[in-house]
Amino acid sequence: MSFIQKKCVSRRTALRGMGASIALPLLDAMVPAATAAQKTAARPVRRLGYVFMPMGCDLSRWKPTGEDLHGELPPILSPLAPVQKQVTVISDLELANAYPGSHATSNSAFLSAATAKHTESTDYFLGTTADQIAAKQIGQSTQLPSMELSMDLMQTVGQCDNGYACVYQNNLSWSSPTTPLPSEAHPRVVFENMFGEGGSAAERSAELQKKASLLDWVTEDIARLKREVGAGDRNRINQYLESVREVERRIQKSEADATDNKLPDLDRPLGVPASYGDHARLMFDLQVLAMQADITRVTTFQLARETSNRSYPEVGVPDSHHPLSHHGNDDEKIARLAKINQFHVSLFAGFLGKLADTVEGNGTLLDHSLLLYGSGMGNPNTHDHSNLPIIVAGGAAGAMKGGRHIEYGRQTPLANLHLTLLNKAGVEIDEFADSNGTVDELFEPLSL
């Protein structure tokens, strides 16, 4: 029988030292001393995460056949096999307000399901996005109400696509119809936002030369806390701090690699891995840490912006993504596009695996999260905003039925899914954008 501490540790406990603080994961000692039955009944934290894949996909290699995912997955979705029991693919969703079709509206409508004002200037207007509606309710008790992340370090300005201001492609999250929230792609900045680091950029750089690790400053607090908790909590603290140290080590190695590289590289600040895959995995790992320590409960992550010309030589695709998406029905180009799609899904699958491996309370982080992955385009060759590639993953505290393929047979608003996920995360609203219902098939019926 595990030892239950009489003294309850606050869920908001943090280790602090030298301008840094490290929030802690949920520990047994944070649940008030009680019976095992009462501990089991403790309500898990609810989280929402959104991952955006740009420029649609090859739907012929995406869409499952049949109503379940227990057989062989389509090629693009095959990396999800280890977590497919907690994944549902939804077909026949659309963004009607994204028309007339464009890359700008694919990005802007993905979380807003709203019509972007057609303007090249600063009088842009969209709608409050689903993540920010959530942040206003379930994000107010955390250090960061929400986290907006991306992979592109440089934001474009001016007019980007068919007369639409670049702001529509730069930002997934909008806290109001006129307030886009910029995303952060630099791992060091994200890490410091989570754990703290004072001073100017120059002062932080100098400080990095003196520091071996953030954890070195909180050693005494760590030792004290371990003396106050049980064996299970001590193991959980060790595992979490190992994850923090590993993320920090990777950031510091990237900084050293960039410093040692004498070739001119004006667009990549220090601390960003040279490999796209390494960079994306680091950004996903930072999200795992943020969820584990309850630093935030709402995240958005843009795997690349619309019209991105990034190439993916690490998976054998030297072509630029945007021109490749306009494949003109060329089979070879479509096959290369599918490789990019599969690579992006593999990164998301790795993220899900990390969440599934992270114990929290009587489940895992994945059990207690709802995650939406997808694109604002279906067929990118025609800028089509119907038949969107959409995945929902997680457990919603045991309520979500995974391992399935939901197919409507008619075009249905993506806003219905946004409304459903918000409701299941505890955000009680009756409608969102152009919603006309909810996706009740995703979840087990409530027991009376």
Q: By the 8 A CB rule, do 38 and 53 touch?
A: no
pLDDT value for 339: 98
Structurally, the chain folds into a number of domains equal to 1
pLDDT value for 208: 53
Contacts of 83 (CB under 8 A, 6+ apart): 349, 352, 353, 356, 366, 393
In a domain, residue 246? The reply is no
As beta bridge partners, residue 165 has: 159
Q: By the 8 A CB rule, do 300 and 146 touch?
A: yes
C-alpha distance from residue 267 to each of 71, 154, 349, 430 (Å): 44, 7, 29, 44
In a domain, residue 229? The reply is no
Find the CATH number of the domain harbouring 80. Answer: 3.40.720.10
As beta bridge partners, residue 371 has: 49, 393
In this predicted model, what pLDDT tens digit does every residue of 314-330 receive, in sequence order? 999 999 999 999 999 99
Task: Please tell me the pTM assigned to this model.
Answer: 0.82
In a domain, residue 214? The reply is no
In a domain, residue 12? The reply is no
In a domain, residue 349? The reply is yes
In a domain, residue 156? The reply is yes
CA 101 to chain centroid, in Å, comes to 25
Residues 356, 55: Cα–Cα separation, whole Å: 28
pLDDT value for 237: 77
pLDDT value for 244: 76
Per-residue pLDDT of the chain (448 residues; tens, 9 = 90+): 233 344 555 555 555 554 556 666 666 666 554 444 344 344 566 899 999 999 999 999 999 998 888 778 999 999 999 999 999 999 999 999 999 889 999 999 999 999 999 999 889 999 999 999 999 999 988 889 999 999 987 666 555 777 899 999 999 999 999 999 999 999 988 988 887 755 555 555 555 555 556 677 677 777 777 777 777 777 777 777 777 777 777 777 666 665 554 433 333 445 688 899 999 999 999 999 899 888 899 999 999 999 999 999 999 999 999 999 999 999 999 999 999 999 999 999 999 999 999 988 888 999 999 999 999 999 999 999 999 999 999 986 568 889 999 999 999 999 999 999 999 999 999 999 999 999 999 987 644 3
pLDDT value for 3: 33
In this predicted model, what pLDDT tens digit does every residue of 209-231 receive, in sequence order? 555 566 776 777 777 777 777 77
In a domain, residue 148? The reply is yes
Q: By the 8 A CB rule, do 116 and 177 touch?
A: no
Write out the chain in H/E/C secondary structure: CCCCCCCCCCCCCEEEECCEEEECCCCHHHCCCCCHHHHHCCCCCCEEEEEECCCCCCHHHCCCCCCECCCCCCHHHHHHHHHHHHEEEEEEEECHHHCCCCHHHHHHHHHHCCCCCCCCCCCCCCCCCHHHHHHHHHCCCCCCCCEEEECCCCCCCCEEECCEECHHHHCCEEEECCEEECCECCHHHHHHHHHCCCCCHHHHHHHHHHCCCHHHHHHHHHHHHHHHCCHHHHHHHHHHHHHHHHHHHHHHHHHHHHHHCCCCCCCCCCCCCCCHHHHHHHHHHHHHHHHHCCCCCEEEEECCCCCCCCCEHHHCECCCHHHHHCCCCCHHHHHHHHHHHHHHHHHHHHHHHHHHHCEECCEECCCCEEEEEECCCCCHHHCCCCCCCEEEEECCCCCECCCEEEEEEEEEEHHHHHHHHHHHCCCCCCCCCCCCCCCHHHECCCCC
In a domain, residue 153? The reply is yes
As beta bridge partners, residue 413 has: 94
Domain that holds residue 322: 44-185+272-442
pLDDT value for 89: 97
Residues 306, 105: Cα–Cα separation, whole Å: 9
List, as own/partner pairs, every contact residues 410-414 make where C-beta atoms lie below 8 angstroms and the sequence separation is at least 24, other chains included. Answer: 410/92, 411/92, 411/93, 411/94, 411/96, 411/386, 411/387, 412/92, 412/93, 412/94, 412/437, 413/93, 413/94, 413/95, 413/96, 413/113, 414/93, 414/94, 414/95, 414/110, 414/113, 414/388, 414/390
